Amino acid sequence: MRRREFITLVGGATAWPLMAGAEPAPQIIGFLGAPSSASYVKNVAALRQGLKEAGYVEGTNVTIEYRWADGQYDRLPALASELVERRVAVIVTIGGAPSVVAAKNATSTIPIVFTMTADPVQLGLVASLNRPGGNITGIAILGVALEAKRLEILHELVPAAKIIGVLVNPKNPQVQIQTNELAAASRTAGQEIIQLKASNNLEIDAAFEALADRGVGAVIIGQDTFFTSQPAQFAALARRYAIPAISPWREHVTAGILMSYGASITEGYRQAGVYAGRVLKGEKPANLPIVQPTKFEMVINLKTAKALGLTVPPSLLAQADEVIE
């Protein structure tokens, strides 16, 4: 016969253990997001889908504690510490390097599953892509590594543009990697790069005005979580100053900029949900290889091209996954 255990409470009262067959309490996932919740609704839905595929449904057998920084990266360390104090089973970070760096600094024991666009090995977050080691694994969309490809596409579409503007967020840990990628690519193409920095809406406005004053022929919107959430602003500025612009995200193109090239962000979040579920089932982050995209999407807005007086080469149209007319 199984021995029953009793817990003696203050004052001598006795609490009985749970009855056999009682449902276990849902596990808790800590969710650390650098952007605002409003801008990432579709991506959070993809994360929930991945969790469901792994056997976890929010509100049934898993609870998610959400923490959003609303684009203010300096809030992330405190939010990460809150999740650690809640003793969550795993922390899922979205919004790139700033979120995962904050989580890493907050705990070396709670498993962390990230989504980010930079190379996690270059940033010193994991030992290798195949065997991350430590308590961190995740999805590396590798958007930063595509900056040179975006420059190449712009050169094909706007060959007369000898001066290219690049907008980066100085608060992003991967900004130097972005700069290095583009500097090397621009030397090969014989183009001049003008880099401007912005970390809020007013600075984005000022950056576009400065780029227009300096006569840039096109603009690359750098990979950054805060930039992701501002499609309408970028589209309006590119239209106001009649500047061809390329970004990593199709959402910017549907809002009105010229084109995008990058991996599917929503697919990355779905995979992050699957990985979080695997960790909840007992797998170690150290042994889960970093997932990398195998497909990249090009989206072109022909209405914007026409407004800019540009003719999109047939070679680019043939490569496009989506054309907005």
Residue 282: alpha-carbon gap to chain centroid: 25
For 126, which DSSP code? S
For 145, which DSSP code? G
CA angle 292, 295, 297 (to 5 degrees): 125
Residue 7's pLDDT is: 34
Residue 71's pLDDT is: 82
Q: What's this model's pTM, rounded to 2 decimal places? A: 0.76
Amino acid type, 258: L
Residue 173's SS3 state is coil
Residue 37's pLDDT is: 81
Closest CA to 167 of 128, 196, 190, 204: 196
Residue 315's SS3 state is helix
Residue 264's pLDDT is: 83
- Across the chain, which has 325 residues, the per-10-residue mean pLDDT values are 36 43 77 84 91 96 95 94 97 91 97 90 92 95 78 90 92 80 78 92 96 95 86 96 94 95 88 97 96 89 96 93 93
Q: Which two tokens stand for residue 195?
A: 């880099």
Residue 236's SS3 state is helix
What does the CA dihedral 132, 133, 134, 140 come to, rounded to 10 degrees? 0
| CA separation for the pair 141, 189 (Å, rounded) | 25
Residue 10's pLDDT is: 37
Residue 41's pLDDT is: 83
Interacting residues of 261 by C-beta distance below 8 A, sequence separation 6+: 146, 149, 150, 153, 246, 248, 296, 297, 298, 299
Burial 200-236 (b: 16+ CB within 10 A, else e): eeeebeebbeebbeeebbbbbbbbbbbbbbbbebbbb
CA distances, 308 to each of 14, 184, 258 (Å): 77, 28, 9
> Is 136 in contact with 104 (CB distance < 8 Å)?
yes
Residue 143's pLDDT is: 66
For CA atoms 308, 204, 182, 213, give the dihedral sign: positive
